[in-house]
Amino acid sequence: MNIALIAHDNKKESLIQFVSAYKPILEEHSLFATGTTGLKIIEATGLNVYRFQSGPLGGDQEIGSLIAKNEMDMVIFFRDPLTAQPHEPDVSALLRLCDVYNIPLASNMGTAEILIHGLERGDFNWRTIQDK
């Protein structure tokens, strides 16, 4: 499965801890991330992560493009709800695309854990058997 990993600046460390904890599950899948987040994940875990541009420079939109082409299966996006983001319209567009194309989306650690455990159980295999 193709999994996008994104985090606002104040949530990057939490995402790195999450990815480290679930590395055995995540390493079995194709991982994608926005620029800085991806670099930090690679440095901390050694996982193979395809990096897009930084979020404010278009990385969110690059991931959104894969969602629109039905080439992304899950998005884990640790958002910072307490800090205004200069690229909030891009973030809103990405979240909207997840809803339009029924892409499982976690915006916090609690939901991300539920999705990861479901991924481990095979609950998302429907993504591989539907018409892409």
Bridge partners of 32? 4, 50
Burial category of 52 from C-beta neighbours within 10 Å (exposed 0-12, middle 13-18, buried 19 and up): buried
Q: CB-hemisphere CA count at 13 Å for 121? A: 7
Give me the catalytic one of 60, 80, 90, 99. Answer: 60
Whether 73 is catalytic is no
Catalytic residues: 60
